[in-house]
Structures are given as structure tokens and as C-alpha cells.
Amino acid sequence: MAQKGWLIQLDKCTGCESCTIACKSENNTYPLFSPMITEEGIPTHTSWRWVIFKDSGTYPNVKKRFVTSACNHCQHPACLASCPVDAISKRSADGIVLIDQDKCIGCRYCEWACPYGVPQYNANTKKVEKCTFCVHRIDAGLKPACETTCTGRALHSEDFNISNSGQNKPDGFPDPSYTHPATRFEATTLP
């Protein structure tokens, strides 16, 4: 089976979140405007791509690393295995994992099963959503919106060799042997 995947060049990500904004704009994720705030003070929104901010070191040698994150389109998706209504599928042509919104019942089992925190509950539709790898763009021969917008050129889609699953994973990234994510990381030296 062919597999699309991600290469994330960790030292090139500037934390600008242009990938997050491009994803939201391209896919019209909820809400389209400012998020509403729940009674608990939590914003209600759905983000298919986001940036994790990681601090390390001790003063005066502190570092900040940014890690862009989205669905890893795993070889063995925990979300797919947990879905009781077969709403989640993996395309054989490219390994992209999709949630059929017509079948999803919003039980959130996939959200709880995913070790990467990818599936997002949409409070408006009462269903779960996640990154689609911009499948509509892939099918048209284009790259995902997040990749084309990345100002640091840190995010790349690629034909993925699953033996590179989780390669050079940053601290805190779950054990790749569980789901075999189609994501690998690279750390380059900045000039």
C-alpha cells in the first residue's frame, strides 16, 4: 500500500502558526470566526493542525522548539480500530485516513484512542473531525495547504516509507511502535 506522510524539519519551524491558519482557512473548520467560550472558560473550536511549543534547558541556556502537529495518517490507526460504526477508513491508494461525516455518530472513541490527540470533537455538528491531508488538494495534484503556507519550509508531504515511522521523534512524541505514524522528523543545524 502506498503511503503519504509528513517530514517535519524541527529546526526550521518558527512557531508562526501559518500552517494552523492555512488549515483552518482551507477546510473551514469550526468556528469560522472567534471561538465561543464555554461556561468552564474553554474555547470551542476544531483545529486539524496546531503548533506545540516546547521549552527545554536551564537559564542561561534555554531553548524553545516548535513542533507542527496534525494527523499522522498511521499505518495502524488507533482511531480506525476504535470506531464502532466504521466511519473511519484508510485509503489504499495513499494511506490517508478519513472520517466519513455521514457515518460518524460523535461517540468520541477515536478521540480517546488516538495517542497523538488528533481527532477533534466539533461542538456544532456533534461529530469528530481531523486532518484529511487536504485530500481534495492531493486528488487535484496539489500539496496540502499547511505545507504551501509554511514560512520556514519546515513541513513537507512526501511518499512515505513506513520504516521511518517516528524517526528522530522529539521528546513527548508517543511511541511510534503503537500505530506506526506516517511522520518523521529531522533536525538541521541553523546557520
pLDDT tens across 171-180, in order? 889 999 999 9
With beta carbons less than 8 A apart as the criterion, state whether 10 and 67 touch: yes
**What is the rounded average pLDDT for all residues in the chain?**
91
> In the chain, where are the structural domains located?
4-186
Q: What is the largest CA-CA distance in the chain?
A: 53
How far is residue 55's CA from residue 130's CA, in Å, rounded to a whole number?
26
Per CATH, is 4-186 categorized as 3.30.70.20?
yes
Q: Which residues contact 158 (CB under 8 A, 6 or more apart)?
A: 4, 5, 6, 7
The alpha carbons of the chain give a radius of gyration, in whole angstroms, of 17
Average pLDDT in the 123-146 region? 95
Cα dist from 140 to 58, 96, 129, 165, 187, whole Å:
47, 15, 22, 26, 31
With beta carbons less than 8 A apart as the criterion, state whether 84 and 107 touch: yes
Give the model's pLDDT for residue 190: 44
Q: Could you report the per-residue pLDDT of 77-134, keeping only the tens digit for each? A: 999 999 999 999 999 999 999 999 999 999 999 999 999 999 999 888 899 999 999 9
Q: Could you report the per-residue pLDDT of 25-41, keeping only the tens digit for each? A: 999 887 766 566 666 76
Q: Name the pTM for this structure.
A: 0.89
Residue 153 pLDDT greater than 60, yes or no:
yes
How many C-alpha atoms does 65 have within 13 Å on its Cβ side? 18
